[in-house]
Amino acid sequence: MRTIKVARNLGVATRLLAHVVEMATQGGFKELKLETGTTAFFKPARALYQRHGFNVCEPFGHYCADPHSTFMSLDLSP
């Protein structure tokens, strides 16, 4: 998730992520998974996801282990 420079540190990404989580929860999803980068450029994104309960996980779907990818998941089960 990336926001334009003037919108950074205003909570935009947090609100968007909260909305996605809420919609997934209401939709009956049991888990959310995502892929993001491993470089310093993606450090703020990884920190955002970790703050909201996402944990590093194994690759999923058609993804393969890749040194340039971080895989994360969030358990939505009650």
Torsion of CA 12, 35, 30, 55, to 10 degrees: -80
Kindly indicate the confidence band of residue 4, based on its pLDDT and cuts at 50, 70 and 90. Answer: confident
Distances in whole angstroms, Cα of residue 74 to Cα of each of 8, 10, 19, 34, 41: 24, 23, 14, 9, 22
Q: What are phi and psi of 35, to 5 degrees?
A: -125, 135
Mean pLDDT for the chain overall: 95
Rounded distance between C-alpha atoms, residue 24 and residue 42, angstroms? 24
Rounded distance between C-alpha atoms, residue 46 and residue 35, angstroms? 10
Kindly indicate the confidence band of residue 48, based on its pLDDT and cuts at 50, 70 and 90. Answer: very high
pLDDT in tens, 20-39: 999 999 999 999 999 999 99
Note the pTM of the prediction, 2 decimals. Answer: 0.90
